[in-house]
Structure 1
Amino acid sequence: MKTFLLVCDTIIVIAYALLCNLSFPNDMAHIVLVLLFFLSFRALSLAIHDLFSIGNFFLLIFLWQYKPQLLVLPYIFYLVLYFYLYTKEEKLQAITKDNTRLKIETQQSRLYRLLQGKFERQIAINTRLKERQRIAQDIHDLLGHSVTASVLQLEAAKSIMDEDPERAKQMITNATQSLREGIDNIRSVVHQMRAEASDMQAADINTIIDKFRRDTGIIIHYKADGDINAIEPDRWEAIRGNLQEALSNVIKHANATQVWVDLQVMPGMLRLQVRDDGLGAEIYEEGMGISGMRQRIAPFAGSLIIRGEPKKGTTIITLIPRRKTA
């Protein structure tokens, strides 16, 4: 902007000098000298500080007899233009500053979400590792002793079978009883593990929903019908993955204010429905996300249904058949 203003100064001074040349040709040497100082003060004012403009007012005294109003009037317009451009530049600088701040905040927010996601995944991995260690320890404690004692009794019974058949039979009976107790203990542990796994599944889905609510500010409603404890682990992973992808699509495409998540556990079917009140559409182009959802449920002969209506939101339904039990 300063270069533009200096060009305006030069044009005004040259125009005034040409007018003076017509009216006062004999005094042009004096006029040109004053105008050169006048232009120098204007350059100093633009380059260093506005106070140098005081020198311009002082130089007008030396131009008083050469119609200085011809120089002053263009400068009045010049001052109006200067303040207009100055105000505009200040606004542009403020906007640029705000945009820079928003970009930094956005980058920091993305980095925070990335680190938070990595932290949550690491917690999940650590939880699984601890659970495996606990399972291994339980199996060792409950079954190891029974199996070892039974093997010793069976070996001893074998060695005395001919000499003392009755005692050998009693030892075999004791070994059999010990093995049955070990099997019962293992069944009890497995049943407890299934209950704990289902609790982890419920906590997992609540974590996903809470994270979505926290990161987006979108109101989300969650309802589960049926026995979540009965969902098979492999099918649960498919449900979990499709829920995350559906919520991701809401963030990226829907522009929604509310989301409803309904999970139904029926005797022969699992049904997950994610509905939003966003933009919606009649026809949806399937990208990597939707394709991944179909691939995730394909091993279970599952189905993916997508319905929508412009300005009335989108509904994504995941259907997964349950494993048949004998």
Structure 2
Amino acid sequence: MESWIIINKLIILIYLVLHYVHGNIHKPWIVFALLLYLCLNISIYIVKQATAKKSGLLLSIILTILFYYDADSLFILFFPLNLYELVSYYIDKKWLIFTMAFFPVPFIMESVYSLYILVAAFSFTIFTMASIYTSKLRKLENHMDEMRKDIQKLTRSLNENNEYMRQSEYTFKLEERNRLSQTIHDQIGHSMTGAFIQMEAAKRLVEKDTDKAKELLQNSINILKEGIEKIRVTLKNIKPPTEQMGMNRIKLLVDEFAAKHDMKTIFRHKGNLEVISPIHWTIIHQNVTEALTNTMKYANATVVSIEIHVLNTFIKVEVKDNGKGSQRIRKGLGITGMEERTASMNGTIIADGTNGFSVTTLLPIQ
């Protein structure tokens, strides 16, 4: 706003200077008045305190009136804009501010009457535009400050959630380790200790009472068998199913891709996932990763879908996007690597660029 008002004052000042030069008016008092007014108004925009600005504007209005009577009648042209600035601190209604600029009209000389009205209207227009622009700018700044605060809150909340997730994961691991330790101690440890005690007793009785020693050894063997079975059952319960591990890896890959790139990502699966072996999951994960990378680099797409469909004799994995596609498919290192991996399991890769771009992996179920 201040820059617009300064430009308006400079326009009036330049007009007065050209008027005096063109009219061959050489009065030291006029030069002094112009310089004094210029210095005073520059200082108004240098100081930051509102009280100092108001005092400067009031003094500028007084000097304008004094110079109008003592130096030259054209000095009254500075009056409207200074008045607008000062009164705007106390009155919000623009029409009332504009009306106040016409109070000096009855006292103005007829030679500058029309020019004063024109300058007053022009200055009011500039002042109003600057006020509206400044008001919108302040609203935008306030909105940006609120958004910045919201972003800071969201960032802080996100960091807290991440920290909570890391702490929860760590706590879960500690609890799982504690559970396994307690299970091994309560079930397997007692069995091993009992078998060890009976074997020590059998060692002492092997020469004195052979039958009793054999009985103790047989009990130890039975206890060890039971302990080994408990170990097997415990490890089986701990180990997650293969399809669960493979599916979680694919979901993690898809979620990470969707989070990093501005692209809608759809993931679907059908059929019995239990028939997919670990080596199948490895190939599927690598091929999907390569296909998503190619989509991000070359497809210029907005949507990409990943579908795993388990059929009777083979597994179908399709990665398809809605990008520009390609009528002529050039097999680079990516597709070639996918074909080599898939061929190691007697599978096939099908690439189609007619409607978007799709890469389909077909793996036989062994």
Same fold (TM over 0.5): yes
Choose the corresponding residue for 2:266, options 220, 230, 239: 220
Q: Which residue of 1 aligns with 2:121?
A: 76
Q: Which residue of 2 aligns with 1:49?
A: 88
Structure 2: runs of 5+ lacking an equivalent:
26-66, 92-96
Query: Contact 1:274 / 1:317 at 8 angstroms: preserved in 2?
Result: yes
Query: TM-score, structure 2 length as denominator?
Result: 0.57
**Is structure 2 residue 176 aligned with structure 1 residue 173?**
no
Q: Which residue of 2 aligns with 1:146?
A: 191
How far apart are residue 175 of structure 1 and its match? 0.6
Identity within the alignment, %: 19
Query: Contact 1:262 / 1:272 at 8 angstroms: preserved in 2?
Result: yes
Aligned residue identity for 2:84 = S
SS of 1:223's partner is strand
Query: Contact 2:84 / 2:124 at 8 angstroms: preserved in 1?
Result: no
Report the aligned-residue RMSD: 5.4
- Over 3 Å counting, the alpha-carbon distance change for 1:7 and 1:167 in structure 2 is same
Structure 1: runs of 5+ lacking an equivalent:
23-27, 284-289
Query: TM-score, structure 1 length as denominator?
Result: 0.63
Q: Deviations over 1:161-215 (max 9, x none)?
A: 1111111111111110111011111111122222479768767876887899899
- Over 3 Å counting, the alpha-carbon distance change for 1:112 and 1:147 in structure 2 is same
Choose the corresponding residue for 2:175, options 130, 134, 138: 130
How far apart are residue 65 of structure 1 and its match? 2.7
Aligned residue identity for 1:139 = I
How far apart are residue 10 of structure 1 and its match? 3.2
Query: Contact 2:202 / 2:217 at 8 angstroms: preserved in 1?
Result: yes
Question: What CA distance in whole angstroms lies between the structure 1 residues aligned with 2:154 and 2:116?
Answer: 56
Question: What CA distance in whole angstroms lies between the structure 2 residues aligned with 1:81 and 1:20?
Answer: 28
Question: What CA distance in whole angstroms lies between the structure 2 residues aligned with 1:255 and 1:46?
Answer: 55
Query: Contact 1:264 / 1:271 at 8 angstroms: preserved in 2?
Result: yes
How far apart are residue 110 of structure 1 and its match? 4.2
Paired residues in the alignment total 298
Q: Which residue of 1 aligns with 2:107?
A: 62
- Over 3 Å counting, the alpha-carbon distance change for 1:199 and 1:280 in structure 2 is same
Question: What CA distance in whole angstroms lies between the structure 2 residues aligned with 1:29 and 1:74?
Answer: 15
Q: Which residue of 2 aligns with 1:7?
A: 10
Query: Contact 2:242 / 2:277 at 8 angstroms: preserved in 1?
Result: no
SS of 2:102's partner is helix
